[in-house]
């Protein structure tokens, strides 16, 4: 099987409008969680979130194009443009047939749905824009990315709630490694910070009213964010032949299903996913130098993940740094594990592990090194990124420092 490397990365998220600014914010432990500015926020019980601020779509897209693009698609396209620019790829006729896109999202065009339900039910309009369906469909982002770059190989969308982007990237990894493509654009995006999206999540009663404090004893729940990231996954020999800069190597992917409860996590599923990813990478647990945790800031998720890590890592669990960047950028649902992979890239390339922000006091039921509040310089050769979703769908990626 072929080796798979990352040759480009791009992002638009609450911490930054590109990879460099996101790295800087993570290194400084900045928290992008603040007051929400969405319409009808006064009717919400939860009034905080991690919004992308200062993004002007009209600076990135022609006016006629914007009528086709939900916010989650805009985020994916901006991120993909950055990733392609960094990769230096030229998609000619031959490569177009060997290049594709797999993206993750949980809500798809949630903003479009919210706006048009409001128009019909609240405002009493009897018709909607003719492009509502192309805007709201979950495959919209993948389709627009394929069209913008002329990617004629495999293309589709993965929707597995909070693990969507990791599942998408894992499938892209398999596609390149197995020879189904030479290049895949992959990652995920989400834009659910609208009235309907937030109101739906309020009903679960897992949301914090102040901030996100993963693994801290006084945590009070998760905080929603918006954003995403896109990467260029490429066959190693193809990348080397064209002299591309290699950012990292993707070496393992594992997935599992809890087959238990639709919302409550079970430690067995995450254990099997992590073990599968490490076996796929042919690495022992003690080779992992950093874990980017799922770390949502809910008691059930944090404690279940800590238990699973202890089972997988054994004695190494006491030594390996484990942080949750959701404490800074919020939970971007289907797009979050793509942004979290940036935290792994930063650790591998910059030698800086992102912190778990807003941490106040250790939870004796966690007992891990959660890199509290301040980023940490460290030599990281292997990083693991966890995503454990509602419905018990788990996806884990393992990266290694660039060869």
Q: What is the pLDDT along the chain (403 residues), one digit of tens a residue?
A: 899 999 999 999 999 999 999 999 999 999 999 999 999 999 999 999 999 999 999 999 999 999 999 999 999 999 999 999 999 999 999 999 999 999 999 999 999 999 999 999 999 999 999 999 999 999 999 999 999 999 999 999 999 999 999 999 999 999 999 999 999 999 999 999 999 999 999 999 999 999 999 999 999 999 999 999 999 999 999 999 999 999 999 999 999 999 999 999 999 999 999 999 999 999 999 999 999 999 999 999 999 999 999 999 999 999 999 999 999 999 999 999 999 999 999 999 999 999 999 999 999 999 999 999 999 999 999 999 999 999 999 999 999 999 8
Query: Active-site residue among 31, 162, 212, 344?
Result: 162
> What are the domain boundaries of the chain?
4-241, 253-401
Query: Active-site residue among 31, 329, 331, 344?
Result: 331
- For helices 110-117 and 195-202, the axis angle rounded to 10 degrees is 100
Domains 4-241 and 253-401 in one fold: yes
Asked if residue 225 lies in contact with residue 142, where contact means CB atoms within 8 angstroms, the answer is: no
| Cα-Cα-Cα-Cα dihedral sign, residues 373, 353, 279, 104 | positive
DSSP 47-77: -EEB---S--GGGTS-HHHHTT--HHHHHHH
pTM of the entire structure? 0.98
Residue with tokens 């601020």: 53
- Residue 377's DSSP bridge partners are 352
Tokens found for residue 287 = 């080779």
Q: How many whole angstroms separate alpha carbon 214 and alpha carbon 294?
A: 9
Could you give the C-alpha distances from 214 to 15, 141, 358, in angstroms and in order? 18, 30, 8
Q: Would you call 212 a catalytic residue per the annotation?
A: no
Q: Are strands 183-190 and 99-104 parallel, antiparallel or unpaired?
A: parallel
Query: Active-site residue among 138, 144, 294, 329?
Result: 294
Q: Would you call 316 a catalytic residue per the annotation?
A: no
Sequence length of the chain is 403
Q: Quick one: 45 exposed, middle or buried, by C-beta within 10 A (0-12, 13-18, 19+)? A: exposed
Q: Would you call 167 a catalytic residue per the annotation?
A: no
CATH topology of domain 253-401: Peroxisomal Thiolase; Chain A, domain 1 (3.40.47)
Q: How far apart are the first and last CA of the chain?
A: 17
Please, what CATH class does the domain formed by 4-241 belong to? alpha beta
Asked if residue 319 lies in contact with residue 291, where contact means CB atoms within 8 angstroms, the answer is: no
């Amino acid at each position: 099987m072929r080796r798979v490397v990352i040759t480009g990365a791009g992002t638009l998220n609450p911490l930054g409008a590109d990879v460099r600014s996101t790295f800087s914010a993570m290194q400084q432990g900045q928290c992008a969680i603040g007051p929400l500015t969405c319409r009808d926020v006064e009717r919400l019980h939860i009034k905080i979130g991690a919004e992308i601020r200062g993004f002007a779509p009209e600076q990135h897209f022609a006016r006629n194009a914007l009528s086709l693009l939900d916010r989650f698609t805009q985020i994916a396209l901006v991120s993909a443009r950055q990733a392609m620019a960094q990769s230096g790829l030229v998609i000619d006729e031959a490569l177009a047939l060997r290049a594709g896109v797999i993206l993750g999202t949980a809500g798809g065009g949630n903003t479009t749905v919210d706006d048009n339900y409001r128009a019909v039910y609240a405002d009493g309009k009897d018709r909607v824009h003719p492009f509502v369906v192309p805007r709201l469909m979950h495959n919209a982002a993948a389709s627009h990315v394929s069209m913008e770059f002329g990617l004629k190989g495999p293309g589709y969308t993965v929707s597995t709630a909070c693990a969507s982007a990791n599942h998408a990237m894992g499938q892209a990894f398999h596609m390149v490694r197995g020879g189904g493509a030479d290049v895949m654009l992959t990652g995920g995006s989400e834009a659910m910070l609208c009235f309907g999206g937030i109101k739906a999540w309020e009903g679960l009663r897992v949301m914090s009213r102040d901030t996100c404090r993963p693994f801290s004893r006084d945590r009070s729940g998760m905080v929603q964010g918006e954003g995403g990231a896109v990467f260029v996954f490429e066959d190693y020999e193809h990348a080397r032949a064209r002299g591309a800069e290699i950012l990292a190597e993707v070496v393992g992917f594992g997935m599992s299903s809890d087959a238990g409860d639709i919302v409550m996590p079970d430690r067995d599923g995450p254990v099997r996913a992590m073990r599968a990813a490490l076996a796929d990478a042919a690495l022992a647990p003690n080779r992992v130098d950093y874990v980017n945790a799922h770390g949502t800031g809910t008691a059930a998720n944090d404690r279940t993940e800590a238990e699973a890590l202890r089972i997988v890592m054994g004695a190494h669990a006491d030594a390996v740094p484990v942080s949750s960047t959701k404490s800074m950028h919020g939970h971007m649902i289907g797009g979050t594990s793509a942004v979290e992979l940036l935290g792994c890239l930063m650790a591998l390339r910059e030698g800086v592990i992102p912190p778990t922000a807003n941490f106040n006091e250790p939870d004796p039921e966690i007992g891990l090194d959660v890199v509290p509040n301040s980023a940490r310089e460290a030599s990281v050769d292997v990083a693991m990124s966890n995503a454990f979703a509602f419905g018990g769908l788990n996806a884990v990626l393992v990266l290694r420092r660039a060869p």
